[in-house]
Amino acid sequence: MNIVLDTNIISYGDWYLEGPIFTLLEKFLRLSGVKLFVPEIVVLEVKNSFKKTLTKSFKSLDENMPTLRRLLPNEDVLRIPDIVEKCREYDTKLDKRLAELKAERPGHSDIPHDKIVSRVLTPRKPCTGENKGYRDSLLWEVILRKIVTKDTTTFFISKNYTDFTINATDKTLHPELLDDLAAAGLPKDVVQFYSDLRSFVDEQVKSKLEAIVDDIVRSLEKGSYKGFSVKKWFVENQEAIKDQVNDKIERAFSHIANELEDPTVTCIEDPERIDIDEVARYERDEQLYYIGVTVFADMTIDVFVDKVAYYSYLGEKFPLEVWDSDWNEHYVWAVVQVKLPLSLFMLFDASEETVESFEVDDVGEFWGWCRDCGAQIMSDAAEECWSCGKSFG
């Protein structure tokens, strides 16, 4: 088995490859002899993405520094670190972590340029037309020429499913990419696709590790162990959880993103309900337990709304609370209250009764609000409101 990671699995998931999902993957790699590939084009993109994200974050902080100093005149307000130095530190840490995972990093300098240009201009997947897709084409050529072999299944993991397959749940590549495999004399099923790392780990990794059921597993399945409870941990770590939720909240708003822009979670309330989805300990793990939970909690979310749209129809269509009707020339600053399910995966150390690391795996989507009663619409297939019963037709 070969595993290939795309840029977005790291830059949209776990910058340092140290969360519980990567911990489980690392254990699998160590025990199985499976090869992990992170092509050099991916490594370069991750480092560049880190620099862009850090620069954007520091810029926002710098712009707000005068306000912070006025609000906290006697406090030692944060000094903005040197971006170049921090990026250099990250590059070193990423290289070290990839070495620990024994990741192979095939290069791309010898991939024929005319081959890539041909894919872009045709266009042919993974290109999407309008001269887009050079980078994805380069990555695919590296996979095709340097990683895939006819006797070993290669699992390619990328959130960019639209360029490599047809649907997010498809394991089979796009037909044009299957033709590439056939032209290279390779079986069409030799490359399997996953759109997220958690699904791959759930389906391909956990079943190959020996799970152990003990009293601690049974206790955690009820939500607690000795002095630890999942609910208490969630409440005490809401700020850190909120930061991870904000990395994914745009996905939840994707169906109304043109109307409610730049969603930012400012508050997560104490959970209304927590479902323990799974608890597992694996062979050779002394006191480490993997816990998957779904948390249902109310959130306060800042959004920006185009003034024309707000005063034309959105003010009545969406239950918005306006905080600043004249935020700037074009936008209204408002907040919305929503209840969304959060999928979390955590690594629990029973000997210390602490969570070593956690990852917000997903934020549930929603599809707006009922125009009659304001209840959230949580499914695109809903034909009537679950709350008031009014038809959406």
* 107-153: pLDDT as tens digits: 999 988 887 877 777 777 887 766 568 889 999 999 999 999 999 99
Phi, psi of 144 (to 5 degrees): -65, -40
Q: Given this model, what pLDDT does residue 129 score?
A: 64
Provide CB contacts within 8 A for 359, sequence distance 6+. 13, 14, 19, 20, 21, 244, 344, 345, 346
Average pLDDT score over residue span 231-248: 93
Q: Given this model, what pLDDT does residue 349 score?
A: 96
Provide CB contacts within 8 A for 29, sequence distance 6+. 3, 36, 101, 102
Q: How confident is residue 257, by pLDDT bands cut at 50, 70 and 90?
A: low
* pLDDT higher than 80, residue 272: yes
Tell me the pLDDT tens digit for each residue of 159-195. Answer: 998 899 988 788 999 999 999 999 999 999 999 999 9
* pLDDT higher than 80, residue 289: yes
pTM recorded for the entire structure: 0.86
Separation of alpha carbons 169 and 308, rounded Å: 38
Amino acid at 198: R
Amino acid at 7: T
Locate 47 and state its tokens.
């480092």
* pLDDT higher than 70, residue 343: yes
* pLDDT higher than 70, residue 76: no
Q: Output the CA angle 189-6-178, nearest 5 degrees.
A: 25
Which of 12, 177, 38 shows the shortest CA–CA distance to 107? 38
Helix (H) or strand (E) holding 212: strand 211-212
Separation of alpha carbons 77 and 65, rounded Å: 8
> Around 140, how many Cα atoms within 13 Å sit in the side-chain half-sphere?
28
Domain edges within the chain: 2-205, 211-363
Q: Given this model, what pLDDT does residue 367 score?
A: 78
Q: How confident is residue 25, by pLDDT bands cut at 50, 70 and 90?
A: very high
Q: Given this model, what pLDDT does residue 78 score?
A: 67
User: 230, 223 in Cβ contact below 8 A?
Assistant: yes
Q: Which residues pair with 300 in a beta bridge?
A: 267, 337
Separation of alpha carbons 63 and 283, rounded Å: 50
- 3-state secondary structure at position 291: strand
CA dihedral for 223, 224, 230, 231, sign (positive or negative): positive
Concatenated DSSP letters of 301-356: EEEEEEHHHIIIIIHHHS--EEEETTSSSSEEEEEEEEEEEEEEEEEEETTTTEEE
Number of helices (H) and strands (E) in the chain: give both, helices first: 15, 13
* pLDDT higher than 90, residue 91: yes
Q: Given this model, what pLDDT does residue 247 score?
A: 85
Q: Given this model, what pLDDT does residue 269 score?
A: 93
Do the bridges between strand 261-268 and strand 331-349 make them parallel or antiparallel, or are there none, so unpaired? unpaired
Q: Given this model, what pLDDT does residue 130 score?
A: 61
Q: Given this model, what pLDDT does residue 105 score?
A: 98
Separation of alpha carbons 215 and 185, rounded Å: 51
Q: How confident is residue 368, by pLDDT bands cut at 50, 70 and 90?
A: confident
Q: Given this model, what pLDDT does residue 284 score?
A: 80
* pLDDT higher than 70, residue 27: yes
In this prediction, what percent of the chain has a pLDDT beyond 90?
Answer: 59
Average pLDDT, the chain: 89
Question: Cα 391 vs. chain centroid, distance in angstroms?
Answer: 34
